[in-house]
Amino acid sequence: MAKRTIWRLVLPLAMVPGTALAQTSGTIAPSATAPALSAGQAQADRGYLLGPDDEIKISVYNQADLSVTTRVKTDGTVILAFLGAVPATGKTTAQLAAELAAAYAKGGYLINPSINVEVSQFVSRFVTVLGNVPQAGNYPLDRSYTLASMLAKAGGATTNGANAVILTPADGSGAVRISLVEMGPGANRQLMPGDILFVPPAEKVYVYGQVQQAGAFTFVPGQTFRQALALAGGPTLAGSTRRIKVRRGGKELETVTLDDPVQPEDVLIIREKLF
C-alpha cells in the first residue's frame, strides 16, 4: 500500500491560540481573559467614526510588538506592521478591530487574534460648546447628538447663562439663536462635526426710579413688567404704578401697562406720584 505524505504549514509568526471571534465595542476577543474596554471607553467609542488626526491605540493580545498608538493619517489610513497602510476613516473602532483581526488571520500572521482599538484623542469629529456652561470644551460625536442633548452633556446653562443658545453650523449657513425654553425643532436639531454652541450671558431687564431695590434682573420669557417690578421689591411709598415709563431699544414706549410682556434689555422706570 502506498504511503501518504502529510504536509504541515509553518507560519511566519508565533501563533496565538483562541476560539471563535466575538465582536465587542472596539475589540475582537476570543476569550474572557483578553483585555476589555472600560464601560466609559466602550460607550465613547461605539458610534464614533474615525477621521484624520484621531489618535488610536491598537492592542494585539499577547503580541506587544504589534500593538501601537498612532494617528490616522490625512489620507485616512493607519500604518501597521505586516499590513502596511490600512484604511481607517469612516469606521468605528469595532469595525477597524474586526478588519485588522481578519487581515492578520488571512495573512497567516495570527490565529484568532484578539485586537482592541481605542480612541485616545478625538480630533476629527467634535462639537465645541462655549459660553456660560459648567464644562465648556470640545465634545466628540461618539453618537448622534441633538443641540439639547449636547448642551446637557456640557452641564446646561449656568445661572448666569441665557435661556437660549447660539448655534454656528460648520456648513457656513450662518449663526442662529435657538430658545431653550420652547424646546422646539431648533433644540432637537442634529449636530454635525465642527458645529459650535455658545450660551450667551443671561439677558436682563432693568428697573429704576421709585422702587425698593433698583437694579438689573434676569429676564425670563413670558415675564410681565409687574413681575419685574416685584423683583425690585415693589414701588416705594412715593412711587406710582400708574405712572411708569418703559425704554426699549433707546426709545420710550407709549401706553404701556404693568401687565404687558417684558422684552430683553427693557428699562422700567417707576415715577413719583403726583400729589
Alpha-carbon distances, residue 56 vs 71, 138, 226, 267 (angstroms):
6, 18, 58, 55
Q: What is the pLDDT of residue 44?
A: 41
Q: For residue 23, which of 103, 118, 98, 119 has the smallest C-alpha distance?
A: 98
Distance CA 81, CA 15 (A): 16
Phi-psi map region of 104: left, alpha, beta (phi>0 left; psi -120 to 50 alpha): alpha
Q: Across the 275 residues of the chain, what is the mean pLDDT of every consecutive 10-residue run? A: 38 36 41 37 60 93 92 94 93 94 93 92 90 94 88 91 91 88 76 94 94 92 92 93 90 90 94 81
Q: What is the pLDDT of residue 12?
A: 39
Is the pTM higher than 0.75? The answer reads no
Residue 113 burial (C-beta neighbours within 10 Å; 0-12, 13-18, 19+): buried
- Structural domains of the chain, ranges and CATH numbers in brackets: 22-121 (3.30.1950.10), 126-199 (3.10.560.10), 204-272 (3.10.560.10)
DSSP letter for each residue of 156-200: ---TTB-SEEEEE-TTSS--EEEETTT--TTTTPBP-TT-EEEEP
Q: What is the pLDDT of residue 184?
A: 67
For residue 163, the cross-strand partners are none
Beta strand 77-80 with 68-71 is unpaired
Q: What is the pLDDT of residue 163?
A: 84
Q: For residue 233, which of 262, 270, 266 has the smallest C-alpha distance?
A: 270
